[in-house]
Structure 1
Amino acid sequence: MALIFTALATQVEAGCRDIEYRKAAYAICEVDLAEADLRLFLNDAEGRPLGQFSAVDKVLAAEGRALAFAMNAGMYHSDRSPVGLYIENGREVTSIVTRAGPGNFGMVPNGLFCISEGRADVIETQAFLRRKPACRYATQSGPMLVVDGVLHPRFLKDSTSRYVRNGVGTTADGKRAVFVISRQAVTFHEFGSLFRDHLNLPNALYFDGSVSRLYAPELNRNDLGFSLGPMVGLVVPDTH
């Protein structure tokens, strides 16, 4: 079981861990939503894509805060704008997409990662439309990895499609979010099974593959590469 980001009144302690499951290696970071300051990031104050974890840290430095961990959090167009619904600090930036379509995003059921007061939830898109949760932050992606304890119906156990993949799962009570990135190429079936069978999470959402990146100082990870779209990060007081 991975270490948990334990939220304290004055400080949030970050903890990430490498694990192995069914002969595949993964990095896992967990967040306890009781007190944690978990946010999504896309653009700077001038509307330009932040693109990198280091750019997010520069923005947070003005608040006297910093990232404890971060990862890419959803698919995006060439201009770095989100493919589906994206909400940041209560403001809807892009609209929800409800139709099936090409690529992983359009492999319905897809879903959303919603951060609200004191909780975070992975919610299938149609359920999201019915429930209309009050998300302070939200990002839409796809496919869903696990829906109410069931793997996505299109995942094949004998698939040969393998990529480095990342995603997020949440507990039924919304109090814990678990972020995972594979350390090697895995199938959708293998990745979804990790969330359902090893982490015991009823709902999980795919963020992306091959472009998957992680910032986790405890694991000596600060993955570099071309500019990203949406990013999710745990924000803590800057102690440097």
Structure 2
Amino acid sequence: MRAAAAAAALLLAACSQGDAKQEVAAPPPPACSGATFEGVSFTHCTADPARHTIHMVLGPKGGAPYRSLSQLAVDRPGKNHAVAFAMNGGMFDEKGQPIGYYVEEGLRLHKLNTNEGWGNFHLQPNGVFYGDAAGRWTIRTAADFAKSVSDRPDFGTQSGPMLVIGGKLHPKIDADGASKKLRNAVGVDRKGRAHFVISDEPVSFGKLARYFRDSLDCPNALFLDGSVSSLWDPEHGRVDGGPPLGPLIVVEKATKGRK
């Protein structure tokens, strides 16, 4: 009887260890997944400071901007295994160069743009998405950024307009305006995670803004672009094409998990 009991205990322990190993080996959830809000379909990608790093990429060092996510993938084959996802992010000129604040790997390539003008970028307030290698990611209005940030971040990009400011919708954005386009944006939630969203169908500014405020609980969110909005999601085999792009936001898997 004792021998049988001992054998049963060993078998139970072995099964428990096997289950533990399976739990440890379980892969993390996909970075990108589908979502629906107020009848509109979105693709929602999450960057978690514990699992990811964020980088701005314009083009190869000393070279012209990539202008597309597919070209980024072709030109960086040795780094593609680390990419969780990538998205266009930041206003640019006809050559793909940033026209607002832009920092890549700690190097500032364009200063903060406080000019007045027309178009989405100049629908004040616009803002800056920035962060560091330690996974501290933030969105501020351009005016708040100029006043509050003195140290240069590791990455940064300016775009506009802001969609959500301190938990409130941009005051000049209609609830569901007539202008509906494919659009993408980024927000940072109260846990420090960055949420990148691209619409799968035309959407208004107001509905996109409410998605960040009401569904993703992001007190601050920034519009990135419209019409040219593109996503590279390697896990699902998605690489969007379309009109030429400018600055690119690349979210990579962290080599070591952060605590």
TM category (shorter chain) comes to 0.7 to 0.9
Partner of 2:66: 50
Report the secondary structure of 1:55's partner residue.
helix
Matched-pair identity in %:
36
Distance 1:47-1:12 versus aligned 2 partners, 3 A rule: farther
Give me the whole-angstrom Cα distance separating, in 1, the residues matched to 2:79 and 2:123. Answer: 39
SS state at 1:195 partner:
helix
- Read off the aligned partner of 2:217 and give its amino acid letter: N
Q: 1:34 to 1:130 in 2, by over 3 A?
A: farther
Question: Is the 8 Å Cα contact of residues 51 and 254 (structure 2) preserved in structure 1?
Answer: no
Contact 2:84 2:253 in 1 (8 A): yes
User: Is 2:103 aligned against 1:96?
Assistant: no
Give the secondary-structure state (helix, strand or coil) at the position aligned to 1:25.
strand
Contact preservation (8 Å) 2:121, 2:161: yes
Contact 1:167–1:179, Cα closer than 8 Å, also in 2: yes
What is the aligned partner in structure 2 of residue 5 from structure 1?
Answer: none
Say whether residues 1:186 and 2:203 are aligned partners: yes
More strand per residue: 1 or 2? 1
* Shift in Å, 1:158: 4.3
Match of 2:131 among 87, 109, 115: 115
| Kept in 2: contact 1:14–1:69 (CA 8 A) | no
Q: 1:199 corresponds to which residue? A: 216
**Structure 2 unaligned runs (5+)?**
1-23
Structure with more helix by fraction: 2
Letter in 2 for 1:188: F
Report the secondary structure of 2:122's partner residue: coil
Asked if the contact 1:35/1:118 (under 8 Å) is kept, the reply is no
Deviations 1:122-166 (A, max 9, x none): 111111011115410000000000000010001112411111110
Deviation at 1:43, TM superposition (A): 1.7
Instruction: Give the one of 69, 75, 87 matched to 1:71.
Output: 87
How far the C-alpha of 1:68 sits from its partner, in A, is 1.9
Instruction: Kindly name which structure, 1 or 2, has the bigger radius of gyration based on alpha carbons.
Output: 2
Give matches, 1:139-178, under 5 Å: 139-172=157-190, 175-178=192-195
Show the counterpart of 2:249: 232
Number of residue-to-residue matches in the alignment: 228
What 5-or-longer segments of structure 1 have no aligned partner? 1-7
- Scaled by the length of structure 1, the TM-score of the pair is 0.87
